[in-house]
Amino acid sequence: MPFVPNTDAERAEMLRAVGASSVEELFSDIPEHLHIKGLDLPDGISEIEALNEVDSLAERNVQTKKMDWFLGAGAYYDYIPAAVPALAGRGEFLTAYTPYQPEVSQGTLQAIFEYQSMAAKLLGMSVVNASHYDGATALAEAVLMAWKARDGRNRILLPRELHPEYAQVIETYCTSFDIEFVRYGGAPENAPIDDKTAAIVIAYPNFSGEIYPVKKAADRAHEAGALCIVQADPLMCALMKSPGEQGADIVTAEGQSLGNPLNFGGPYLGIMGTTDALVRRMPGRIVGETKDKNGKRGFVLTLSTREQHIRREKAVSNICSNQGLSMLQTCIYLATLGKQGLREIARQSYDKAHYAAELIGGIPGYSVRSSQFFREFLVETPRAAAQIVRALGQRGIVPGFALSRYYPDRRNELLICVTEMNTRTQIERLAAALREASR
């Protein structure tokens, strides 16, 4: 079923209008020997059959909802209010494209402007763009942006405890440029910032869940003429100081947990914000407020001279299509929960994670390694964390992320995530299961 409306009779009439004897004739520019006989694929099937086939695959996966879920590590199981998909799924949003014609795209444009505003205020920045592919690519683009903004400096400081997949994406993005990456451990204010440093990246919190305040490191970076990039958990910013108010120049974040489903890793939402001083170096689309000829408020894509369709090889990035719909989901999510709702979710995540840490820290053989954390913390386990994950999995509990998956030598470390979705009962069941698993 290729969704083609025209009947054979209509096609014949159209061919006559074109002056072609057959559809094949329209393909006559393609050298004869390159025409293929057919694809080695099955022929099309009906809607019922296709849906059955896709559903049967979907049903073979393990779902968060059916387990006691304590796995995060960059993707979070949070509640999505019913209004979010109901509104974002409206055909007028879903099946529009980049708002090239602002007069008939005010819905998308105003929604982007509202998202930019709410995300900017959450992160404490003066401007946020209309999205990147995900948190990892946003951070990689931020590194390139900072490197270009600090001409002549080629050193970027990265935290040792940065999400490993983010570090890999940065490596891919920067592979063609002469950038030296220096990894630092512990508090960012003690990182070796010098006159060759273009920027320091701070993970807030880092991959192990540890939170280091940004302020001192940002001040030190600025004294040394470097920029401060913060990769933040945006939900944490509802409860704790924003990177912006602590002096960050560029903030990136993964917005998935704000209204986007897990979806096996995508589509997610890359958030990027910056200061007024750096806005013209920021990649990505940006929407601005203006007026029409009658003085009525309206919104347009603006500062486009940064982008590939105008600047071509001199553009600040090659990004074109972004994550518009994921951004819209987050926009509606933030509007629905609002100030109180978002604070409450952050607060409950914090309290539940700390309650879990308290219980687990009290089990002989386990120790909590994170000192300041939000909703995710690192636990040292009495036996291989991967074994514990496997054992508890059979009992319907996904206890967290075994670090050995990324770092084979970190065998006894388990990263546990607790969100507003977890109940006290689940947390207590987790603690009891961990106690048993230590034996």
Partner 1 sequence: MAIDKNARYLESHEYAKPSGEHMIFGISDHAQAELGDVVFVELPAVGKTLSKGAMFGTIESVKAASDLYAPVSGTVVEVNEAVKNDPSLVNKDCYGAGWLIKVAPINASEFSGLLDPAAYGKAIGEE
Partner 2 sequence: MNTMNMRDEPLVYELSRVGRTGCSLPKSDVPEYQVPGDLVREELDLPELDELTVVRHFTRLSQKNFSIDTEFYPLGSCTMKYNPKVNEVAASNPGWKNLHPLVGDEYAQGALELIWRLQEGLREVGGFAAASLQPAAGAHGEFSGVLMIRAALRERGDRARKKMLIPDSAHGTNPASCTMAGFVTQTVPSGQDGNIDMAALRAALDETVAGIMITNPNTLGLFERNIEEICRLVHEAGGYVYGDGANMNALTGVFRPGSSGVDVMHFNLHKTFSTPHGGGGPGAGMVAANETLASYLPGPIAVRHKSGYTLEMPPKSIGRMKAFYGNFGVLVRAYSYLLMTGANGLRRVAENAVLNANYLKSLVEGVYPVPYKRNCMHEFVAKGTVAAGVHTLDIAKRLIDYGFHPPTIYFPLIVQEALMIEPTETESKDTLDLYADALKRIAGEAASQPELLHDAPHGAPVGRLDEVMAARCPILCYRG
Q: Which is nearer to partner 1, 150 or 352 (CB)?
A: 150
Footprint (CB under 8 A) of partner 2, residues 296-325: 296-300, 302-303, 307-315, 317-325
Contact flag: residue 275 with partner 2 (CB under 8 A): no
Out of partner 1, partner 2, none, what residue 35 binds, judged by CB under 5 to 8 A for its kind, is partner 2
* Residue whose structure tokens are 């002096």: 247
Among 180-188, 195-203, 238-246, 430-438, the segment contacting partner 2 (CB under 8 A):
238-246
Contact flag: residue 290 with partner 1 (CB under 8 A): no
* CB contact at 8 A, 154 and 147: yes
404-407 long-range contacts (CB < 8 A, ≥24 apart) are 406/164, 407/164
Contact flag: residue 388 with partner 2 (CB under 8 A): no
Q: Which is nearer to partner 2, 295 or 439 (CB)?
A: 295
Out of partner 1, partner 2, none, what residue 340 binds, judged by CB under 5 to 8 A for its kind, is partner 2
- Collect all residues with Cβ–Cβ distance below 8 Å to 50 and sequence separation of at least 6: none
Contact flag: residue 36 with partner 2 (CB under 8 A): yes
CB 194, min distance to partner 2, A? 26
Is the preceding peptide bond at 99 cis, omega within 30 degrees of 0? no
CA–CA gap between residue 392 and residue 377 (Å, rounded)? 18
Contact flag: residue 168 with partner 2 (CB under 8 A): yes
CB 3, min distance to partner 1, A? 35
Footprint (CB under 8 A) of partner 1, residues 246-285: 280
CB 117, min distance to partner 2, A? 4
Footprint (CB under 8 A) of partner 2, residues 60-119: 60-65, 69, 71, 73-75, 77, 79, 81, 83, 85-108, 110-114, 116-118
Q: Pattern of binders to partner 1 over 307-336, x per CB under 8 A?
A: ---xx--x----------------------
Determine phi and psi for 55, rounding to 5 degrees.
-60, -40
* CB contact at 8 A, 152 and 178: no
* CB contact at 8 A, 386 and 399: no
- Collect all residues with Cβ–Cβ distance below 8 Å to 143 and sequence separation of at least 6: 156, 170, 173, 174, 179, 199, 201, 229
Q: Which is nearer to partner 2, 79 or 365 (CB)?
A: 79
What is the 3-state secondary structure of 367-402?
A: EECCCCECCEEEEECCCCHHHHHHHHHCCCEECCEE
Please provide the size of the chain in residues.
439
Q: How many residues bind partner 2 (CB under 8 A)?
A: 203
